[in-house]
Structure 1
Amino acid sequence: MITYIEIQDRENAEKMLGLQIPSYKVEAKLIGFDGIPPLHETVEELQGCGERFWVYEIDGRWAGAIAYEVEKSAGEREASGVGGPGGDGGSAVVISRMMVHPDYFRRGIARALLRHVLQVAEPSAQLYRVSTGSLNEPALQLYRSEGFHETRRLEVAPGVEITFLEKGSCT
């Protein structure tokens, strides 16, 4: 079952770290870099991140989670009185975290979470964005199979690249 959670709630943030740490340790090993920010995050940082979280629960245990933020278009920012650089007239959903506990790998959890967010995240979204370690082939395969395409790569540390992917509106 996929449910929305309030990450500002301390108990939820603590539980999320219990899922996040083992999940991102696997990615760190895949890409050969343990400086992934979610590995070093505190409960307080997680509570204040401003992201929207959905969890995939199996028998009362959080098996996976996805989080995202919504970037408003220039017109939406102007209407709300918030300045900033322009957009293309619609919101963008930025998937900021995707995690599955290693005990639940290869069960379709990440795909189910991704599809859920693509359906419910933001009605005005014109674009969906995500990034992952360039050597994280399972994540790259998932995103590509769901219609995302690579837009660029960025070296974030010596020998460590992040791949950025995008997908147009799902409506």
Structure 2
Amino acid sequence: MPIRPLDLTDDAIADAVYRIGRAAYAVEAQLIGFDGIPALGESLTEMRARPLHWLGAFSGDGSLDGFLAWEVEGEGICIDRLCVDPGRFRRGVASLLLRHVLAELFPGRPVEVTTGAANAPAVTLYERLGFARGPDFSPAPGLTMASFARAAGCGPWEGGRGSSDLG
């Protein structure tokens, strides 16, 4: 499955990212019991204006299966979103994207990410790839988020504190 940078100035790419993001966040909203996820209320224009770096995973037919977007914060990386087309769930797309960025784009750099604490598939993915679970927090009533971090110097498949099946 090819992985390549995404150019959100391209209307077709931006539309695909927007469609997949909304569909994936709608599933997460059901999983966590909270429909106020900020990305669900974001317009296409607002999404395109975000100061993020975008990377996508593509099917053999050239369609976008999922994407990962991040910000650089000093020496660290903050993953802003990791979304997979719901029709492509459980096929390793999220793992592929995450492993790629950890190994190829930011090896040895600290990486942080958050997800809904009740989003069991995402929590399992981050723990499996060596992210240590930090404190949960509630940015809005009815929403509990889980925070995860990988220390600088941690390889892409090394277990970290809190790793469920690597430690």
| Superposition TM-score, scaled by structure 1 size | 0.83
**Shift in Å, 1:110:** 0.4
Aligned match of 2:51: 50
Task: Map residues 17-166 of structure 1 onto 2, 5 A cutoff.
Answer: 17-58=18-59, 59-72=61-74, 91-122=75-106, 126-166=109-149
Instruction: Give the Cα separation in 2 of the matches to 1:38 and 1:107.
Output: 23
Q: CA RMSD in A?
A: 1.4
1:167 to 145, 150, 164: 150
The Cα of 1:38 is off from its aligned counterpart by: 1.2
Same amino acid, percent of matched pairs:
36
Structure 1 unaligned segments of length 5 or more: list them: 73-90
SS of the residue aligned with 1:27?
helix
One-letter amino acid of the counterpart of residue 52, structure 2:
E
Inter-partner Cα distance in structure 2 for 1:10 and 1:102? 21
1:16 is matched with 17
Distance (Å, rounded) in 2 between the aligned partners of 1:97 and 1:115: 15
Q: Does the Cα contact within 8 Å between 1:70 and 1:122 map onto a contact in 2?
A: no
Q: Distance in 2 between matches of 1:46 and 1:9?
A: 13
- C-alpha deviations, 1:46-84, integer Å up to 9, x for none? 111011111111122111111111111xxxxxxxxxxxx
Secondary structure of the 2:109 match is strand
Preserved CA contact (<8 Å) 2:110 2:149:
yes
The Cα shift of 1:9 comes to 3.4
SS at match of 1:6: coil
Question: CA separation in 1, counterparts of 2:14 and 2:65?
Answer: 15
Q: Report if aligned partners of 1:153, 1:163 keep a CA contact under 8 Å in 2.
A: yes
- Using the alignment, how far apart are the partners of 2:9 and 2:72 within structure 1? 17
Instruction: Select the structure of larger CA radius of gyration.
Output: 1
Do the aligned partners of 2:68 and 2:79 also contact (CA within 8 Å) in 1?
yes
**Size of the alignment, in residue pairs?**
152
Amino acid at match of 2:151: G
Q: Partner letter of residue 100 of structure 2?
A: H
Contact 2:133–2:149 (CA under 8 A) maintained in structure 1: yes
Conserved 8 A contact 2:117-2:145: yes
Q: 2-side partners of 1:51 and 1:3: how far apart?
A: 15
TM-score w.r.t. the length of structure 2 is 0.85
SS in 2 for 1:126: coil
How far the C-alpha of 1:34 sits from its partner, in A, is: 0.9
